């Protein structure tokens, strides 16, 4: 039975002269693999809708090992992503993380919405790349079952302060005093802690509606990346290259 669905192309692998194998994130069916035959030919009706980071409406036919793209119509292409190597590498990183997490059901719908938002901000240059990266890492982990406990210090219940520690393994906060007792070095200042809570807990449409200093962003970026890497099952191939262009 065919599937009619919106979907974002996370990965496109060339096969032979003009075919592609697509990895597509869909809101209702999660991450799917689909063969797009002839889609690399300029005159093929699938050409404009099956490229990397195309957000398209697909008609998919089920097969033994994967779907076949019967029809596809492009809705958004995010042309601005390719304008810099840093932007392209960040987009590849986010797409690979989404594919690795393979969300299903409601999680897939939220992940698709988040990724589309981040790609828009990236394509239109509406936010610092490190902000986009931290937002994606923290929010995607939160929506895929790894929401950290962000309300108060696990040790004493303190809500705020000049420095906190986000434990990437336990997913909890420790105030400066409790972190010191545990032999941990604080990795968040007040600005980074505010942004962390905002990113993980605010409604979707306000996720980028915060301001952060350069110093606080540096701390947030390290903590967000460490948290995401800790909870992924396997390393991402795109990570090393991203770090080489966006240290």
Please report the pLDDT score of residue 188 as a whole number.
Answer: 98
Question: What is the pTM (predicted TM-score) of this model?
Answer: 0.96
Q: Is the pLDDT of residue 1 over 90?
A: no
- CA 240 – CA 207 distance, rounded (Å): 27
pLDDT digits 0-9 by tens, 18-35: 999 999 999 999 999 999
The CA R_g of the chain, rounded to the nearest whole Å, is 20
Q: How confident is the model at residue 233 (pLDDT cuts 50, 70, 90)?
A: confident
- Cα distances from 242 to residues 86, 153, 164, 167, 239, in angstroms, run 7, 33, 27, 24, 5
Please report the pLDDT score of residue 205 as a whole number.
Answer: 94
| Angle between the N-to-C axes of helices 190-201 and 214-231, in degrees from 0 to 180, rounded to the nearest 10 | 50
pLDDT digits 0-9 by tens, 164-192: 999 999 999 999 999 999 999 999 999 99
| H or E element at residue 231 | helix 214-231
Percent of all residues in the chain with a pLDDT value above 70, rounded to a whole number: 100
Q: Is the pLDDT of residue 199 over 90?
A: yes
């Amino acid at each position: 039975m065919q599937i009619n669905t919106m979907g974002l192309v996370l990965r496109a692998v060339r096969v032979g002269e003009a075919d592609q194998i697509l990895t597509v994130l869909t809101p209702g069916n999660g991450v799917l693999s689909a063969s797009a035959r002839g889609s690399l030919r300029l005159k093929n009706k699938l050409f404009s809708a099956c490229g990397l980071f195309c957000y398209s409406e697909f008609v998919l036919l089920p097969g033994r090992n994967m779907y076949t793209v019967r029809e596809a119509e492009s809705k958004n292409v995010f042309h601005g992503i390719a304008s810099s190597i840093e932007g392209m590498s960040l987009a590849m990183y986010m797409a690979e993380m989404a594919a690795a997490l393979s969300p299903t059901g409601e999680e897939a719908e939220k992940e698709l919405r988040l990724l589309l938002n981040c790609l828009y901000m990236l394509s239109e240059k509406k936010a610092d790349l490190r902000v986009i990266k931290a937002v994606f890492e923290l929010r995607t982990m939160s929506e895929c079952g790894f929401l950290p406990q962000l309300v108060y210090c696990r040790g004493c219940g303190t809500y705020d302060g000049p420095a906190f520690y986000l434990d990437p393994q336990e997913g909890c906060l420790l105030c400066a005093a409790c972190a010191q007792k545990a032999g941990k070095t604080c990795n968040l200042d007040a600005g980074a802690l505010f942004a962390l809570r905002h990113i993980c807990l605010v409604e979707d449409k306000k996720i980028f509606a915060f301001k952060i200093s350069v110093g606080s962003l540096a701390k947030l970026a390290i903590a967000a990346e460490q948290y995401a890497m800790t909870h992924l099952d396997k390393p991402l191939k795109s990570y090393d290259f991203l770090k080489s262009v966006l240290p």
